[in-house]
């Protein structure tokens, strides 16, 4: 996209950056951007911070060239799904996706499974944030978070997240939370004659 190239060209000129590899931050907020392509970011392998908030993006499938990203600001867009878009960003520490239209909790949280450095996640004001048990589910699946939706994740928050049942090593943990299985009775232990 010509607009992306122009924004980056101005940034490089302003900060006297000569090489593409030296670009570590791109600020393209409030540019009315509707679409970006992977090619727009190919030259910027060492990009660590990206601001794309307050645009009109529907999809974000252009990150595979930016595997060194540490912070991404995508809030106030029109993003409906992040499935298969962010999983390769294993160094990500901060991700702001609030005020979008993301609605599939499971596929969204699956994107974070390899992001062991992710500490600050904001999904506030998306349909998924309205789902019953959302906070507990996210904390359980992304246990290293320090901030979720602008609130500190405390030790107490982590303690109250019920453990999911496991039969590994012939033992059983506390049963699944009622939130995820609302019509099933709570499981307290496995039957003694259960087949493992």
- Amino acid 37: pLDDT: 86
**Are residues 79 and 102 in contact, defined by beta-carbon separation less than 8 angstroms?**
yes
Residues 187 and 185: their CA atoms lie apart, in Å, by 6
Residues 109, 137: contact at Cβ < 8 Å?
yes
Helix residue ranges per DSSP H, 75-154: 105-110, 134-141
State the span(s) of the chain assigned CATH 3.80.10.10.
2-161
CATH superfamily of 2-161: Ribonuclease Inhibitor (3.80.10.10)
Per-residue model confidence as pLDDT tens for the chain (196 residues): 567 777 778 888 888 888 888 889 989 999 999 988 888 888 888 999 999 999 999 999 888 888 999 999 999 999 999 999 999 999 999 999 999 999 999 999 999 988 999 999 999 999 999 998 888 889 888 889 999 999 998 888 777 655 443 444 444 444 444 444 444 444 444 444 444 3
Rounded distance between C-alpha atoms, residue 74 and residue 78, angstroms = 9
Return d(Cα 104, Cα 127) in angstroms, integer: 8
Q: How many CA atoms lie within 13 A of 183 on its CB side?
A: 0
Look at residue 26 and give its three-state secondary structure: strand
CA 180 remoteness from chain centre: 21
In the block, which residue shows the tokens 């499981």?
Answer: 187
pLDDT of residue 157: 75
pTM: 0.77
State the Cα angle at 193 between 190 and 196, rounded to 5°: 70
- Provide the pLDDT for residue 176: 46
């Amino acid at each position: 996209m010509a607009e992306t190239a122009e924004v980056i060209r101005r940034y490089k000129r302003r900060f006297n950056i000569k090489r593409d590899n030296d670009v570590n931050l791109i600020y393209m907020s409030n540019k009315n951007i509707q679409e970006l392509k992977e090619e727009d970011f190919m030259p910027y392998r060492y990009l660590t911070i990206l601001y794309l908030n307050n645009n009109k993006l529907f999809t974000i499938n252009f990150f595979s060239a930016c595997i060194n990203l540490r912070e991404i600001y995508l809030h106030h867009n029109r993003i409906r799904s992040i499935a298969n878009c962010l999983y390769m960003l294993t160094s990500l520490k901060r991700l702001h996706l609030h005020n979008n239209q993301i609605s599939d909790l499971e596929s969204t949280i699956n994107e974070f499974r390899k992001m062991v450095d992710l500490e600050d996640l904001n999904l506030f004001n998306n349909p998924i944030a309205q789902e019953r048990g959302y906070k507990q589910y996210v904390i359980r699946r992304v246990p290293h978070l320090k901030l979720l939706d602008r609130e500190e994740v405390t030790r107490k928050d982590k303690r109250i997240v019920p453990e999911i049942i496991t039969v590994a090593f012939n033992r059983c943990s506390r049963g699944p939370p009622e939130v995820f299985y609302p019509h099933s009775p709570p499981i307290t232990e496995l039957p003694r004659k259960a087949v493992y």
